[in-house]
Amino acid sequence: MNETQTLSQRADALEEQMSRELDYIVIKSRLYSMAEGDMGPPPNAAALMAKNPNARVLMGDDPRLPAMPEKPTLMDFFKYRFGPAAHLLQSAKHAVNAGLPENMVLACLLHDISTIGFIRGDHGYWGAQLVEPYVDEEVTWAIRAHQVLRFYPDESVGYEYPQSYVKTFGADYRPDAYVEEDYQRMRNHKWYMSGRMITVHDIYSFDPNAKVELEEFTDVIGRNFRQPEQGLGFDNSPVSHMWRAMIRPAKYL
């Protein structure tokens, strides 16, 4: 930059440079705004574009996120989209060590994918739906159930109401009515114990030194998760759009 420029000339140049560099505009989905407690209207795309004539509203890949392969696999989502997965990896390892069948090891490996990749509230229901076309019905059922069953003890398998819940939600917390209703339905279901097993292996106090790699489960995934050849998000399944929402979470339309 020319040293003889005045301060305001420098500011103008900087602004111009910034507007050239900003070649895309992100408008957050309503859900993200509401999560910030923001009930205001979304930013006005036209006004933003008037200030940055070269900018376009984001309709493709988000340059701020890691690029994903054209035909993403479940492993790719673990690598490029999901947050830290140590909890899931350790739960799955715990299930392996306990001799659980492979489909239940997969259920433990996937039980919280909604929490680490999509939406927290009702994560069991969302997570089950995400994998529904690709896994045994029992796996889907168990993932959905684990979120509910976590709130209810079962002495027969030594499962107690989590101390972490007392701490996190308060001693007076009671599950919502729909959770209680689902519990009453689930406790009599033929797959009750499959859902229950996830809660048994849903371990939170880990050995911090126990490092589990996703690659340890390559074969379990290969045998129990029907990876679509077109890639997750592009296989025209009833949940493809949900996987695409993780690939491009800020896509405008």
**Distance (Å) of CA 4 to CA 7, 8, 16, 67:** 9, 12, 18, 42
The residues facing 24 across adjacent strands are 56
- Shorter beta-carbon distance to Fe ion: residue 130 or 247: 130
- Shorter beta-carbon distance to Fe ion: residue 143 or 246: 143
Burial 6-38 (b: 16+ CB within 10 A, else e): eeeeeeeeeeeeeeeeeebbbbeeeeebeeeee
Smallest gap, in angstroms, from Cβ of residue 182 to Fe ion? 14
- Shorter beta-carbon distance to Fe ion: residue 76 or 112: 112
Smallest gap, in angstroms, from Cβ of residue 127 to Fe ion? 8
Distance in Å from the first CA to the final CA of the chain? 40
Smallest gap, in angstroms, from Cβ of residue 143 to Fe ion? 9
The residue within the footprint of Fe ion, chosen from 76, 136, 182, 202 (CB under 5 A), is 202
Residues 143 and 108: their CA atoms lie apart, in Å, by 8
Smallest gap, in angstroms, from Cβ of residue 173 to Fe ion? 16
Q: How many residues bind Fe ion (CB under 5 A)?
A: 2
- Shorter beta-carbon distance to Fe ion: residue 112 or 136: 112
The residue within the footprint of Fe ion, chosen from 92, 93, 106, 112 (CB under 5 A), is 112
Residues 22 and 158: their CA atoms lie apart, in Å, by 56
- Shorter beta-carbon distance to Fe ion: residue 68 or 108: 108
CB 233 within 8 A of CB 240: yes
Given the rule CB under 5 A, which of 46-54, 67-75, 106-114, 158-166 is the region that contacts Fe ion? 106-114
Residue 199 CB neighbours (<10 A): 22
Kindly list the residues in this chain that would bind Fe ion in the complex (CB under 5 A).
112, 202
